[in-house]
Structure 1
Amino acid sequence: MLYNVFAHTPPKNNATKWHSLIEHLLQTARRAEIFAASFSMGNTGFVLGALHDLGKINPEFQLYLQDCNEKRKGKSVPHSICSAALLRQLLMRINDSDLELAICIHGHHGGLGEAGLIVTENGILDRWWNHPQNKNLKKMMYDALSYLGMRTPEPLPKDIFRREFSLRMLFSSLVDADFLDTEKHFAAKQARLRDNWVRPADLWPVFRSNQLQMMWRNRWRKLNKIRRRIYNLCLKAGRNKPGMFRLTVPTGGGKTRSAMAFALSHAVNNRTHGFRRIIIAVPYTSIIDQNAQVYRDIFGDNFVLEHHSQVEANESGKQDEKFLRHRLAAENWDYPIIVTTTVQLFESLFANKPSKCRKLHNIAKSIIILDEVQTLPIELLSPTMDVIKTLVDDYGVSVVFSTATQPAFDNTPYLKEFNDQGIKEIVPEPDIYFEKLKRVTYEPVRKYESLEDLALELAEIEKDQVLVVFNTRKQALELHRKLRHYGVEGLYHLSTLLCGAHRKRVLREVFEGLEEGKPVRLISTQVVEAGVDLDFPVVYRAIGPLDRIV
């Protein structure tokens, strides 16, 4: 019966290869089962995959596919509502308290809807099921169940928040499984580029070799000895069981590498747990490429995915294999190391659209490093901590709260959500290292009557390498213009007025100038303070928030 029914039209390169509906349903079911098994909901994933497109058995939908294949304008025929209505009926016989599962199928194209409008009595699915004109289609779907090897789905959690999050995870598993099987039909060559069998534990030898070489080259430097102690503490802390951790390392302590050292050690020491990827979430796009480059220098391009709004496109127009792998991996995060923004991460955790949610199931059994955690919006801390705790408790995730600014987590009412969470310190007594790595003295400078006065002082200053940080772009641009008028050498401007590619170019030239001892006068806004690793002998800072100045 199902073998002459189709899910999709033939691909362009093979006009006779129709996509069998039974094949699509079973392949999607098996993929969704594997995805959902990572959080112990494999049977539920299988059921969602097996039923999601069953409504395409409708003869009217089959005529629609024929019209599409023959380039005729056919009338679109809904199929998700039919499949979802059938699942709701089946669940009413097994466990009518889990009817919300049907919203995953109902929204697998348009997005998760409101369960109260969809699965309740007299809701969208109930009305469709009881409509007389759907009688024949209901019988066809029931008859097809014998081909699908149906299973009993695992029950959803009772807690409301965990229940809703579980639905989102299952929705993600279904959507990604559906996308991947459809892609395999329409673009088989592209689908083969997705295979990724590397896990974080496999990358430990690469990182360890690179780290040992770096430490050996700088073995006599005092700073490197401190970094080595922090590194060893990270390796030791990696032996802990999965959970929540805090990494407090001062600027200059090698936080970027130390966080990765912990994550890889944690993966190696918990092999039976099966960590699948490391996700580094950074709050600002202005610094993400810097962090990503550190990891690419260690592991190469094939294991690091940089995913955010300002990732540069391939300007040559040639989509080589590496470019395609990165583009495809950005869709579902099937990569061993992902460097992304905090916004990108939490958008996925709270979203309801298929494209945003698709990667969500791949966060299960990950190690998440939340860098510059003190920048999380205070008003969003409560829901943020709720979802983080759920990831840790139910989805095998370990989370690292990483910072270089010593937030007083335990002593402020504004960060009370971090209290009583059983967060383990990776580096005990971090105050010791803040004292040892204290390299800056703060001196109040006279109040300038105008920017002209400051410009004259900077033009005549003995030091050729100076950073000036303003609170507004207007002031930064005005000082930059005045210094340019005076013919100052090595003059640069940095702010969000520059596009991502331009900012990268400026930072690259500034880095090179500092390393080579050339004159560098950088006039910037606060964008330079968001974790950008620059080392100037003299810094002028306009009065601003204390956490920005220190």
Structure 2
Amino acid sequence: MTWTGDYWAHTPSEGSGGKPHDLKKHLLDTAQRARTYAEVFGAGNLAYLLGIWHDLGKYNPEFQQYLRDAQAAEERGEDLGRKGPPHAIWGATLLLSRLAEHPQRTTFMLPVLGHHAGLEDAGEGEEKIAAEPDFAERMDAMAQAIKTFSLYPAGAPEKVPEAPLKQELFTRMVTSALVDADFLDTEFHFGEERPRARQYDLDIPALWERFDAGRKRLLEKQRLSGKETAAEVQAVRDEVYAECLKAATGAPGIYRLTVPTGGGKTLSGLAFALKHALHNELRRVIVAIPFTSIIDQNAEVYRDVLGVDAVLEHHSAVQPADNRAERQDAHTLRLQLAAENWDVPLVCTTFVQLFESLFARKTSKLRKLHRVARSVLVLDEVQTLPPELRGPTLDVLRTLVDDYGVSVVLCTATQPAFEADALTDAFKGSLQTEIVPQYADHFEKLKRVEYSLHSHYPQPVPWEALTQELKAEPRILTILNTRRDALSLLRSLQKEKAKHLFHLSTLMCGAHRKDVLNTINERLKQKDEVRLVSTQVVEAGVDLDFPVVYRALAPLDRIIQAAGRCNRNGNGPHKGRLVLFQTVSGKAPRGPYQQGIEKARTILETVKDIDHELNGTDILRRYFSDLYADVLPDQPGVQSLRRQQEFRKVAQAYRLIENDTVSVIVPYRDFQRALEQWQRFPSRKSWRALQPYVVSIYTHEARQLEKAHAIRELEENIYLLEATGSYDSLVGLPIDRDPADLIYMAGGSNVL
């Protein structure tokens, strides 16, 4: 087989002035970009080689004819009606044939094989290649192309780590650099993602210059708005801020930021991260948070300080189907290219987006991973990480610190004491720098809450009785363990005509949650009536300040976090009140969450003074030690799969959300303009604009809504809510389960 025409990488596009994408140029540009990305972690030459080889299969004359046929069909306004021949497997086959005896050959072969469809298990990838018919002619065409167009690497590939777990993460990192480079070069050809000014105008030094003035401006804004803070609270916040600036000049490593709720952790943590990145010449700050409800708030604070152009808020991801057929039509490619790549210096994201990417196989999740290298990784409310996955989680974090120049900041009021975990080795012997050494003094100074058990305890409180108590309180927050309980209490309050009811849920889109939080805070400031009923999404970092909080019995760290929403600013005439109670349903998520409740119950039954113990810091160490002793650190067996380079199985085993989710666009505010922009040209930019109007739900829930004609599928995994009145102004989507309220709990389905 021979080809006499020009070689195309992609069909012509408007973005390129109607010209096809030259294949040699695409390979060289992708290789150079991949080298730049991977040089950060010492794999530039290897990434360059993979960039050259990833699309060598397109030199096959059959593939070139397919691109011409696809272009002709598009010009006629028709669908070609057939997929093209595969191309990734041919480059991978040639690579594998030349590295047959190399002990780490999978690190070379799998990124090329999976740069569209995702990383395969090592054995599965080699079996797939072995099962293909003889590629002699095609490999001759690729070998001839290498020679004819001088497609050679500039230097010898770097040494691949020999330790299996390190090699596994290294393979992901190299794949990420390749995929992002390939996608960006393709985006530029199609024209939808030209380099944006902020990528070049804003960097860590620029953000640090903005920060000091922005912080002063924000504090003055809060003062003028009448948002009072007690003097002793402000004194602690100032001291925490000063300690963060002092510790920021330390070397990259593992840091702990332990601050009582209300101690100014959000701004002070950002100050540490930016100054630490500036001092150590790190590339970006990534703040990861367990719940989307907190992202809305934290990202808003960051924008107030740094400007609207400085922050990428990333929680709802485009999840295109696997492009296993390696389709090259423009629409399929645009959907794949819309995957986020974290190309900004400050990213605010979720644990799901971060950690499932660290263990992912799909290109849509892997694409951003290389940008974690040489970053400051702030894990806010770190105690919410699933204890049954702490083994692989801590192992990867330690590797990021040791091998990729990352600083990890464990940030919370309730430190999980990973270094004392008898069953997990990753953090043992590691130096963990306490950013605020005198944190125990701060907890003592900020005793703003009195803990008590409900008069019915340990018996459950009937909904009717609880309803009457909540009606009698003008400003009260009630936190339940499940969405179903929250909805039951809301219905009871509505039945009794309770006024000024509010709810917070991740079944409300981000724009809706932001509006509700703003309304609640304004009413609290004016001392108007507010009765908020929520699941536990509200207690991890959400800036609320109620005089009274009712909390259903929960794991001990959740109870203490709930108290952080009570008398937060210390400006009431009396201490706040946190009341623990049992619900009539007794429902709670199974697995470690339920085990945490039982540990808390035991502790509450044995301590003499609940208020004194829960206002201290020693009780948490005992609690986490007891919990970790009963919960295996790697229940799904992720580490064993990682050692065998079983990338597909690892991605299936490491899940923070138990079931697959899809995105539903809801009709809220001016969503229509953002939706039209996305439909006209799917891209990262248009998805970022649409994200505030997106809600994530389980796939089986989407099927039920689709049967009821409530939603319509726009693209695979992306739906539009269409049924009139089906988005509720109080609770959002009318679903009793809320998949994003909790991160994954082992031992069965989440009970929401």
SS state at 1:522 partner: strand
Distance 2:298 2:345 in 1: 16
Q: Provide the residue aligned with 2:157 in structure 1.
A: 153
1:350 aligned partner? 359
Structure 1 residues 55-454: aligned runs within 5 Å: 55-71=57-73, 76-91=84-99, 96-100=102-106, 101-119=108-126, 123-125=127-129, 131-134=135-138, 136-137=140-141, 139-144=143-148, 146-148=150-152, 150-187=154-191, 190-193=193-196, 196-197=199-200, 198-213=202-217, 221-270=231-280, 274-309=281-316, 331-411=340-420, 413=422, 417-447=426-456, 450-454=462-466
Q: In the superposition, relative to structure 1, how do residues 498 and 102 fare at CA in structure 2: closer, same or farther (>3 Å)?
A: closer
Higher RCO (CA-CA < 8 Å; seq separation 6+)? 2
Q: Deviations over 1:214-249 (max 9, x none)?
A: 567689933212111111111111111111111110
Q: Give the 3-state SS of the residue equivalent to 2:41 in structure 1.
A: coil
Larger mean Cα displacement after TM superposition, 493-502 or 260-269 = 493-502
Instruction: Kindly state the Cα deviation for residue 190 of structure 1 after the two structures are TM-superposed.
Output: 2.6
Contact residue 145 and residue 151 of structure 2 kept, 8 A = no
State the match for 1:528 in structure 2.
Answer: 538
Q: Where does structure 1 lack aligned partners over 5 or more consecutive residues?
A: 312-326
Alpha carbons of 1:140 and 1:251: their partners in 2 closer, same or farther (altered >3 Å)? Answer: same
1:258-300 C-alpha deviation (Å, 9 max, x unpaired): 1101101102221xxx311111110111222111111111112
Secondary structure in structure 2 of the residue aligned to 1:506: helix
1:542, distance to aligned residue in structure 2 (A): 3.1
Indicate the residue corresponding to 2:662 in structure 1: none
Corresponding residue for residue 35 of structure 2: 33
Q: How has the CA–CA distance of structure 1 residues 412 and 357 changed in structure 2, closer, same or farther, with 3 Å as cutoff?
A: closer
Q: For residue 433 of structure 1, give the secondary structure of its aligned residue in structure 2.
A: helix
Structure 1 equivalent of residue 551 of structure 2: 541
Distance 1:300 1:14, change over 3 A: closer
Q: 1:173: Cα distance to partner?
A: 0.8
Tell me how far 1:429 sits from its aligned partner: 3.0
Q: Matched residues in 2 for 1:111 and 1:380: separation?
A: 23
Question: What is the identity, as a one-letter code, of the residue corresponding to 2:467?
Answer: A
Q: Distance in 2 between matches of 1:496 and 1:68?
A: 42
Distance, in Å, in 1 between the alignment partners of 2:45 and 2:262 is 49
**1:98-144 alpha-carbon deviations (Å, 9 max, x no partner):** 3220211111111112223435xxx5446769655546435524533
Q: Deviations over 1:324-370 (max 9, x none)?
A: xxx98961100111111101101111111111101111111111001
Alpha-carbon separation, structure 2, partners of 1:431 and 1:415: 26
* Contact 1:55–1:141 (CA under 8 A) maintained in structure 2: no
Distance across 2 between alignment mates of 1:220 and 1:536: 15
Q: Alpha carbons of 1:427 and 1:78: their partners in 2 closer, same or farther (altered >3 Å)? A: same
CA separation of 1:260 and 1:329: change in aligned 2, threshold 3 A: farther
In structure 2, the CA distance between the partners of 1:434 and 1:56, relative to structure 1 (3 Å rule), is: same
Pairwise CA distance, 1:442: 1.3
The aligned amino acid for 2:105 is: L
Aligned-partner Cα distance in 2 for 1:96–1:408 = 41
Is the CA contact 1:307–1:330 (under 8 Å) kept in the aligned structure 2? no
Shift of the 102–251 alpha-carbon distance from structure 1 to 2, 3 Å rule, reads same
The structural deviation recorded for 1:61 is 1.5
State the distance in 2 between where 1:390 and 1:132 align.
Answer: 41
On the 8 A contact 1:60/1:77 being kept in 2, the answer is: yes
SS of residue paired to 2:117: coil
SS of structure 2 residue aligned to 1:185: helix
In structure 1, distance between residues paired with 2:94 and 2:38 = 21
AA aligned opposite 1:451: W
RMSD: 2.9
Partners of 2:124 and 2:491 lie apart in 1 by 59
Q: CA deviation at 1:494?
A: 3.6
Distance 2:554 2:491 in 1: 22
Which deviates more, 107-116 or 298-307?
Answer: 107-116
C-alpha change, 1:221 and 1:489, in structure 2 (3 Å) is same
Higher mean C-alpha displacement, 251-260 vs 109-118:
109-118
2:612 paired residue number: none
Instruction: Give me the whole-angstrom Cα distance separating, in 1, the residues matched to 2:367 and 2:499.
Output: 50
Report which stretch shifted further, 327-336 or 295-304. Answer: 327-336
> Could you list the runs of 5+ residues in structure 2 that have no partner in the other structure?
74-79, 319-335, 561-752
Does the 8 A contact of 2:37 with 2:177 survive in 1?
yes
Distance in 2, Cα, partners of 1:483 & 1:89 = 69
Q: Are 1:469 and 2:449 counterparts?
A: no
Does the residue aligned with 2:371 lie in a helix, a strand or coil?
A: helix
**Contact 1:3–1:21 under 8 Å retained in 2:** no
Moved more, 482-491 or 238-247: 482-491
CA shift, 1:84, in A, is 1.6
Q: Distance in 1 between matches of 2:236 and 2:139?
A: 74
Give me the whole-angstrom Cα distance separating, in 1, the residues matched to 2:431 and 2:250: 13
Q: Which residue of 2 aligns with 1:18?
A: 20
Q: Secondary structure at the match of 1:442?
A: strand
**1:508/1:432 Cα in 2 relative to 1: closer, same or farther (>3 Å)?**
same
Partner of 2:750: none
Counterpart position of 2:47: 45
Q: 1:51: how far off? A: 1.5
Count of residues paired in the alignment: 524
- How far apart, in 1, do the equivalents of 2:463 and 2:440 lie? 38
The percentage of aligned residue pairs carrying the same residue is: 48
For residues 391 and 44 of structure 1, what CA distance do their matches in structure 2 show?
19
Secondary structure of the structure 2 residue equivalent to 1:25: helix
CA distance in 2, matches of 1:295, 1:486: 40
Select which of 436, 461, 468 maps to 1:456. 468
Counterpart in the other structure of 2:743: none
Hey, what does 1:319 align to over in structure 2?
none
Is 2:358–2:369's contact at 8 Å kept on the other side of the alignment?
yes
For residues 135 and 348 of structure 1, the distance between their equivalents in structure 2, rounded to whole angstroms, comes to 33
Q: Could you state the TM-score of these two structures normalised by the residue count of structure 1?
A: 0.87
| Counterpart Cα distance in 1 of 2:338 and 2:143 | 40
Judged with a 3 Å threshold, the aligned counterparts in structure 2 of structure 1 residues 467 and 149 are, in CA distance, closer, same or farther, namely closer
Distance between the aligned counterparts of 2:500 and 2:276, measured in 1?
44
Residue type of the partner of 1:88? Answer: L
Give the stretch that moved more between structures: 106-115 or 69-78. 69-78
- Structure 1 residues 513, 49: closer, same or farther in 2, change over 3 A? same
Q: What is the CA deviation profile of residues 373-402 of structure 1, one whole-angstrom value per residue up to 9, with x for unaligned ones?
A: 111111111111111111111111111011
Alignment partners' CA distance in 1, 2:204 and 2:239? 23
